[in-house]
Each structure stands twice: as structure tokens, then as C-alpha cells.
Structure 1
């Protein structure tokens, strides 16, 4: 195997340098937030598709396993949030080539990204072995595994070769089934880099050898688009995807790694809803709210005990593991427009205002150092995002809560809500945000709105019914 990767740590040719720009950057501090969203033109990048139900094996509790991989390999690794309807999550692994790691039994020197790629792959494959219950004495059919990776269109040619010669040689040398798929890509593929799907199928050792050879080719031929691969400054995901109307697949049902239900955490989204919108949230005979409960698996409660003449509280919650798709996030996105207030001046100027209550202890994850996070969210979503405190918060809020207000057209407001609640969720699970790559938006089904035209919510005063020590709100269905 060593001979197949002779140049994995060598310098790239002058021609490649001319195509990709001026050299690589210095090794980044793994915890340096200022560089986490940038990939240099000379760095090595792999985007491995991990089945949603296997991501727990590479994330670990609180991100411990992912952090260990980054530390041991001296590479960077980001894990995309799961998109509803998509059965895979993108694991983006990247590093400079200034440092080399010993790899395999023969101690081959490779770039850190390749080392991390195989640590991730080996964990996923081991997880599959555990799922299938295979053992050395099994004389049945041979086990096969599948590797899927996203590769930009300007980079995939190094794997295919002129007239398909390279990919055919790879097939002959490894006995693996290797395909490049251009159509029917997963919704996590990116449009800006014109992604194509590289798929390798075969017995575990065969796939490992093929992946090794493919990884060396991708290392030697970086994409001109790779500086965009971590960017969240534009809508990068494939358009047209729809949120599943059925309940999202719950990965813990077939989860190979043992998980203690006691480790699941409750994640909660708390909307301030105009009182006149509550009927639209509930629906006739409770039909709409029950439909969303059934389709998402989230608990949705309307808090009538703390309703004033203008507003009431809608609480959406679910007990979940971080690596699973979130019922609460799904339900919140679908309920957003019904819980929001119409603020556009006329039919041609449709805009909504969404208000969330957030614990003061969590609000920092939405602001960031020097306001960096909230500025980025505004830039990404083109929505107006404000954080209101103290006297500017409606009196329906508790003393230890602040209000996040999102205003914009329905699409911008949905993107902003997605950004906000995913950051709150990562914070609730104590996740290192450097491990999590947030999507620009979630696919969704538009909801009919029945909103008021003018905001009338009152400000917080000294006569509130609750204080910061009160128990979390009482709910009625």
C-alpha cells in the first residue's frame, strides 16, 4: 500500500499551483474561531458522507470522539447539521500539508487530513460490523461496505482520467466497484462547487485500499472551489428539497453504539405568539397542532396560564441526542409562520416578525465575541436579527429570559430561525461550535399564515407573575 501513496506528502506541481492560487496557509490553531471557516487553496480536503444513524460513533458524547480525532491527527473536522429528509451528514476533513502523520503498519507519512479520514472511516465501518452482527466464523455471504464522498466537479477528473482510464485502473487494481454519480445527488451536496458523488463498494479491505488510492489523487489535485466548502455566506444547498411530511427517521432505533436514555437532553424552542394567532396554531378541533406533533414527534404546548391580552407562549420541545435529527427544530420551522406576526405594509411587501424567548445564560452563543456571530447570521440570512433585553422584553417573559426578534421575508426569516435554534441546540448539548457546520437553510413546506398586521406587545414591568426562580411554565394542550 505504501507504493500507492508515494506522493501523498510531496509538493504539488507548478501547474497545480498556478491553477489553485498562492500556496497554503500556516497550521491553524484548532480552537481559533477566526480561521475555522476558511480552507486554503493548498490544503487537503475530504468530504465523507456518514449515515445519520452512524454519526454518534464519530461525534461521541459532547463531541468527545470528534475532538479526539482532531487532536490526534492535527486536522480540522466539521460535521454538517442533519438536513430533514437526508440520510447522510457531511463530515468535512481538512488540513495543511506542512505536518505529516505516520499512517498504517508501515508508518507511511501522510497529511493529517488523510489520517483523520481513515479514523472516521474505520469507526463507521466498525459500527456497521456491530450492526450486522458479523463475526469471524460467519461462512455466509461476504460483507460489503459502501463509501460515499462529495467531490467538486473540477476535482473529480483526477479520479476519472482521460477516457475513464484512471478510474478503470483503480477498479482493476483494487477489485472495488467505483462509480462517479452526477444525478440524483443527496440534498447535502453543494451547488456552488457543482458536486459529484464518488461511491466505492466492496469488501472492507478492498474498499479501504480503493479509498486510500482515491484519497491520494484528491490530495494531489485540489479543487479551485474548496475555499467555498465551509462558507455559509450564500445558499449552497441544492434547491427544491421538501421537508418530509412523515415523522423524521429516528436514528436511535437501530443505533449500534449503546446509549443511555438518561444522557438524552430536552431541547426547547419558546415562541412568543400573538394571541390572535393561537387559533391558527391549534387548528380546528386541535387538528393542525396534533398533525405537527404526529409528523415531527415533538411535544408542542400552548401556555394559556401566562397569556396576556396581546401574547401567549408556544413551547416546542423534545428529548433527544445531539447526533439525531431534532423533532423540536423540525416542528419549530413548520410552525414559525403561524407563530409570527405579519409586519409588511401591503401584500407586495410580505414580511414576518418571529419572537423567541431565550435564557440569559444561552444568549451569548448567539452574539459571539464582539458581536461576530449575530453579524454573520444577519449577513447569511439577510434577515434583521435583534436581541432585546430588560425593559424592551415583553412582560410575559421571565426575569432570566431575553427576546430574540427575527424580521424579514418568510424565506429570510426561516433561514434566520434555523441558524438561531441550531446554535442554541449546539450550546444546549455543550458542543464545541468548531465541530458543527450549520446549513444556510432547512428545506421546508410553506405554511399558511394568519397573522396580525401590527405589533402590540407590552414591555416587561415590575408586576410580572413569574420571577427567575419560578418553575418552567405550566402548559395545557
Structure 2
């Protein structure tokens, strides 16, 4: 590797650091985690790089392995005494472990393996080159099949919709050489957005010793002026409120509270089930919250994604349709960050996720909502619904932290997709009132109520 860039504080990721995001097949995750995380710890110890292994998401057969370090070339690579940064070294070690024993994975021959990585859109140009010259040269020099895929991204890429997928297929030595050259190019051309990679990739996951995310201690600072250091910053409350069909509540709670308690413990979020103001056959509220720093993983997002399926309603129950409908209540004061000027943001989210996303306001909001809440309804396949809920939560979370500008990563060029405006046919049980919900435990957190604008004017729109 040719040069050494500035060293950045180990507590965060800066624009001069090196970050790689390698996609590991779920079935091979054990080969880089090991019992009790022993292998992952060994990789970190040997290379001095930091590594996060994200949980597998439902319906996705890959997990994101985020590898990052300073850019100082301290590690000796191979027998030629060439030096590289710790993240570069760790990336090659992870790849070697993942492909060990692989063969014919992608239907070519018994000697074929693959490497897949997520690459930020502002980095992809260094791999393609003008007129495709760089990528063509890589193909010729390595004899590997190298493709850049910018649509049909795997579900684990949901946090940053500007990601593109790099796929390398070929004989093991060819793939390793191609990965080596690709990693070198990415090293020389870091993404200007990479200080978001850790917070974005971790926001749908949780930290644990085995089977989940293996990570450094939580980040303590963020890049440049996007957040303050921990000694002056205060955590903020971030919450999400599901409307859950009555028949689903038992599945959310589990026998003797087993399931909900497990999610509480594993995510670290506060989860409350509100049934005190509803009849037996009515919808209920599932309230999820946590106090968190913007640059850390989000317990709220983690818990919400785990509970989404159980809080959602199947669409087309009498058919083979696997679509689901997820309903979330949002403070009126936060709805603007989801709609955007002229509906630009919600149109963008529809295009990115392929889900039907509607924001229901005014008299069409279910009666279980507070006076100053709107409803976001997400309908689509499981894959699309998870992506859409994640997009919604990341935008709401950024708004709570006054970090909306951080979402410039989300592309704005997706076409507007016309949406149906029909409302739910479910009967409304009570007249909507401005009240606080009761709960099996306690009502919704006061901090959540404080996020609302109590004087918000009702608009009878469905976006």
C-alpha cells in the first residue's frame, strides 16, 4: 500500500480512517465468530483492527462485517514484507476464513468462491474508472469476475440506501488477488460519509458476545461537527410506537412474558404494552424507547426491527400473499422529516424500499392515537417492510438528534410513486381525544410527549 494518511482517534471513525464492509454468508458466520466470540477476538488481537459482526436480519442470508482502523500502515502482509493498515489485514483474514472449504458456491465449478462487499456510492468510481477502465483492468489482471450491483441490494444494506454491492467471483487465488487490489483502491479513496457507517450499520443490531455483534467499546465521538464529545453531550430519548393488532399481542409478550423480556434484555430498550384503554378486540400500543447517543447503536431501532413482524398484520390472509402492514404512530412535530418538501422524502423512501408508505393525518388516524400523533403505514413484502421501517426510524432518530443533515446519504433522485389513499375499514371505537395512554406497567414516557407540538394543526391528508 502506497501511502500513510493521518491517524484518527480510536474512539471514532474519521474521514481519513479505513473502513471495509464485507458480506459474510450467515452459514459461515461461525467461522469468524467462534465459540463465545473467540475467533473474532483473535482476529482483533492479531491485527489490532476493530470489527463488528451484525446480526442476521429475517429473510437475509448475509451479515455485514464492518472492519475499521486508523490508516497507519503497521501490519506486515504476506511474505513480501509489504505493510498495510490493520483493517486491510483483518479484511483479508476474514475473507480467508469465510471461503475456507467453499466450492461451487455460485454455480461455476468446484474451485469457485466469492467475495461481496458494500461500497459507498462516492467510492465506487475509484473501482470503475473512466469508461470502466479500472474495473476492466482488474478483471484482466486477476482473472476474476468483478461486478458492481446498484439494485436489488441485500437486506443487510438497508441502513444506507446509497450503498452499492461489489461482487467478486472466481478461483480462490484470483478472488483474493482481486479483493487485495479492491481493498487498496478503497484505502486510497475513503468515503466522505464513512463516519456514519458504524452508527448506521449498528442501529438495527445489538451488542452481545456470541451470535450478534462483536465490537469495540461504544464510540465516544463522531466526525467533525456532527455531534459533541461524550463529556459534554447528553443522551436523548428516542422512541417508536407500534399499533399492534389485538390478536398479535400474545405473540409480542410470549408465554409468561418470555419473548418481550428476551427482547428487552438483548436490545436494552424499554418496551411497554398498553392494553388498559382498549377493549379485548381493539388494537393496542407497543411503546419502545431508550436513551442513546446518536453515534451509538440504537436499542430502540434494534427492538423495533425484532418486533416488527409480531406487531404487523398480514395482508391478503386468504391468499399466498406474504405482504405485511406495519403501523407506527409519530408525533405531529416530527412528520415533516418523513414527508419533505412537496413529498420529496416520502417519495424517495418509497423508491428506495419498494414499499407502500403512507402518512395518515387528521380524522383518518386511528382513535388509539393521541391528538398530536399521525400514523405511518408501511405495506409490502417482508423485505420491503423492514427496509421501509428502518428508513422511517433512521429519519425520525436523526430528527430527534437534530442531525437531519446526516441523511444526505439517502439519494433524492428516485421517482415519485403514486400511492393508494384508501383508509382502513376498521371501525373506530372511540372519539379521538388528547390523553395519555395507560399501560400494563406505566404510560408512555413523558420525554416522548415532550417531542410533540401540542398546538400542531390537523391536516386531513394522506401521503
TM-score by length of 2: 0.51
- Judge which range, 338-347 or 263-272, deviates more: 338-347
Aligned pairs for 1:231-246 (under 5 A) are 246=211
Within 1, Cα distance between the matches of 2:10 and 2:382? 29
Note closer, same or farther for the CA distance 1:368–1:329 as it changes in structure 2 (3 Å cut).
same
1:88 aligns with 2:53: no
1:277 aligns with 2:235: no
Task: Tell whether the 8 Å contact from 1:340 to 1:354 is kept in structure 2 after alignment.
Answer: yes
Alignment match, 1:304: 275
**Aligned equivalent of 2:235, options 264, 270, 289:** 264
Within 1, Cα distance between the matches of 2:334 and 2:67? 26
Partner of 1:323, secondary structure, is coil
In structure 1, runs of 5+ residues without a counterpart are 6-49, 60-81, 91-120, 130-142, 165-179, 202-209, 220-228, 231-236, 440-453
Task: Tell whether the 8 Å contact from 1:52 to 1:323 is kept in structure 2 after alignment.
Answer: no
1:288 aligns with 2:223: no
**Aligned equivalent of 1:361, options 315, 325, 333:** 333
Within 1, Cα distance between the matches of 2:231 and 2:9? 21
Note closer, same or farther for the CA distance 1:247–1:268 as it changes in structure 2 (3 Å cut).
farther
Alignment match, 1:397: 369
Within 1, Cα distance between the matches of 2:186 and 2:363? 60
**Aligned equivalent of 1:338, options 290, 294, 310:** 310
Task: Tell whether the 8 Å contact from 2:12 to 2:219 is kept in structure 1 after alignment.
Answer: no
Kindly indicate whether structure 1 or structure 2 has the higher relative contact order, using CA contacts under 8 Å at least 6 residues apart: 1
Alignment match, 2:12: 54
Aligned pairs for 1:139-150 (under 5 A) are 145-146=85-86, 150=119
Deviation of the 1:298 alpha carbon: 1.8
1:476 aligns with 2:441: yes
Aligned pairs for 1:150-189 (under 5 A) are 150=119, 152=124, 153-155=127-129
Deviation of the 1:435 alpha carbon: 4.7
In structure 2, runs of 5+ residues without a counterpart are 17-52, 56-62, 75-82, 89-117, 149-155, 169-177, 195-200, 223-228, 412-423, 443-463
Deviation of the 1:259 alpha carbon: 1.1
Note closer, same or farther for the CA distance 1:243–1:415 as it changes in structure 2 (3 Å cut).
farther
Aligned residues: 295
Task: Tell whether the 8 Å contact from 2:207 to 2:214 is kept in structure 1 after alignment.
Answer: no
Structure of higher CA gyration radius: 1
1:427 aligns with 2:405: no
C-alpha RMSD of matched pairs (Å): 4.9
Task: Tell whether the 8 Å contact from 1:302 to 1:315 is kept in structure 2 after alignment.
Answer: yes
Alignment match, 1:461: 431
TM-score by length of 1: 0.50
Within 2, Cα distance between the matches of 1:360 and 1:259? 30
**Aligned equivalent of 1:375, options 347, 364, 370:** 347
Within 1, Cα distance between the matches of 2:214 and 2:328? 27
